[in-house]
Amino acid sequence: MSEEASVKVWADPLRDFSARVFEKMGVPPDDAAVTADVLVAANLRGIDSHGVARLKRYVNGLCDGVMVARPDIEIVHETPGTALIDGGAGLGQPVGVRGMKLAIAKAQEMGVGFVAVRNSNHYGIAGYYSMMALREELIGISMTNAAVLVVPTFGKDAVLGTNPVSVAAPTGEERPFVLDMATSTVSRGKLEVYDRQEKPLPLGWATDEQGVTTTDARRVLDNLLARAGGGLLPLGGEGELLRGYKGYGLTLLVDILSGVLPGAGYATTIYPKTPEGKPLPANVGHFFGAIRIDAFRPLDEFKATMDDIIRRLKGSARAEGAERIYVHGEKEFEEEERRRREGIPLHPKTVAMMQQIARELGVEYDL
């Protein structure tokens, strides 16, 4: 989609509208504000696949009762450096923020803090939570398992999720390092973007029902919905030639820390259904970590060294035809600055979806 074909909106009214939608669905105002902020943060950083385009997914989940508007969130088990939280089948964003805040508090006290969450839902972009640690000049870690979309190396059927992982580290004068990635070749949201734009997928992103790579985004999405076979490929792509088994290993690692460790869903047990096919609570799991840098070395020394390694990377020789070398998070920071200045471009189909939600719920659409 070209910028000309998009509809430009500003972040604040978009956030306010999204929060009003969640409040209309019975979500408490504070939780509604958090959830809306995570969605708009994705749009600001250019990760439109995880922004307000997903609003209908949450509305449907709340309507169906598989997402609880006012969950009973509780700490199930806790030590000085760790905790396990039950999310009460609520929205993933509020419990995600709570879990990351607790990990940060434990790190500030103990040097490191780790918090696992079970019985949750989709929590948006992983980087939102890891970047929370940057405000306290800590290293932040965030990961989550997800709906079954990824085919294991040499497999035909999807068994694992896209299972993103994010790590954020503070710097001195340079922009912070923010790794935020799916452990698959791409996220499902990226396929949805290609489908909305009616663009062919690059070869090596996904497979059809026979396990053969395909460029047809709609075919992959339909097959995933029907569980007819095929799906996204692990990071690295098909087979062993490009070492896709490494991405497969990363995907499985996230499922172990986010699913197996807290007792959440994992692999094909996540997003369960009744024998009649009715969705049950998703039981998504998350894993958060925070590291206090001065538990290892002085903070100023670490930040100066971070600046140095970033400058060495960015100042290294560029490939022929390349304009610059980026460090993780840099493009997103620059995109956020641009979108705050020029507005957030939304696809017309996303705008139409939000307008329909506004009509159905009786929420004012004033973007």
Q: CA-based diameter of the chain, in Å? A: 59
Please give, one letter per residue, the 3-state secondary structure of the chain. Answer: CCHHHCEEECHHHHHHHHHHHHHHCCCCHHHHHHHHHHHHHHHHCCCHHHCHHHHHHHHHHHHHCCCECCCCCEEEEECCCEEEEECCCECHHHHHHHHHHHHHHHHHHHCEEEEEEEEECCCCCCHHHHHHHHHHCCEEEEEECCCCCECCCCCCECCECCCCEEEEECCCCCCCEEEEECCECCCHHHHHHHHHCCCCCCCCCEECCCCCECCCHHHHHHHHHHCCCEEECECCCCCCCCCHHHHHHHHHHHHHHHHHCCCCCCHHHCCCECCCCCECCCCEEEEEEEECHHHCCCHHHHHHHHHHHHHHHHCCCCCCCCCCCCCCCHHHHHHHHHHHHHCEEECHHHHHHHHHHHHHHCCCCCC
Model pLDDT, residue 187:
80
Which percentage of the chain shows pLDDT scores above 70?
Answer: 99
Model pLDDT, residue 196:
82
How many CB atoms within 10 Å of residue 83? 22
Place of tokens 């100042």: 315
Model pLDDT, residue 197:
87
- Domains of the chain (ranges; CATH) run 1-64+340-367 (1.10.1530.10), 71-185+233-313 (3.30.1370.60)
Q: Which two tokens stand for residue 289?
A: 């970590």
Answer yes or no: is pLDDT of 267 > 90: yes
Model pLDDT, residue 118:
98
Closest alpha carbon to 366 in 104, 76, 20, 130? 20
Answer yes or no: is pLDDT of 332 > 60: yes
Model pLDDT, residue 5:
79
190-209 per-position pLDDT tens digit: 888 899 889 999 988 999 99
8-34 per-position pLDDT tens digit: 999 999 999 999 999 999 999 999 999
291-327 per-position pLDDT tens digit: 999 999 999 999 999 999 999 999 999 999 999 999 9
Residues forming a β-bridge with 85: 75, 117
Whether residue 220 contacts residue 206, with contact meaning beta carbons closer than 8 Å, is answered with yes
52-99 per-position pLDDT tens digit: 999 999 999 999 999 999 999 999 999 999 999 999 999 999 999 999
Q: Which two tokens stand for residue 163?
A: 């299972």
Model pLDDT, residue 3:
60
Question: Distance between CA 124 and CA 247 in Å, rounded?
Answer: 21
C-alpha dist (Å) from residue 215 to 50, 182, 203, 212: 22, 19, 6, 10
Residue type, 256: I
pLDDT class of 288 with cuts at 50, 70, 90: very high
140-190 per-position pLDDT tens digit: 999 999 999 999 999 999 999 999 999 999 999 999 999 999 999 988 878
Whether residue 59 contacts residue 91, with contact meaning beta carbons closer than 8 Å, is answered with no
Closest alpha carbon to 128 in 106, 170, 97? 97
Answer yes or no: is pLDDT of 330 > 90: yes
Q: Which two tokens stand for residue 307?
A: 């600046």
Q: Which two tokens stand for residue 290?
A: 């925070």
What dihedral do alpha carbons 222, 46, 7, 162 form, nearest 10°? 10
Helix axes 217-226, 188-196, angle to 10 degrees: 130
pTM of the model: 0.94
pLDDT class of 43 with cuts at 50, 70, 90: very high
Question: Distance between CA 134 and CA 178 in Å, rounded?
Answer: 10
Model pLDDT, residue 172:
98
Which percentage of the chain shows pLDDT scores above 90?
Answer: 89
Q: Are strands 7-9 and 74-78 parallel, antiparallel or unpaired?
A: unpaired
> Alpha-carbon torsion 224, 38, 95, 138, what sign?
positive
Q: Are strands 7-9 and 344-346 parallel, antiparallel or unpaired?
A: antiparallel
Model pLDDT, residue 4:
58
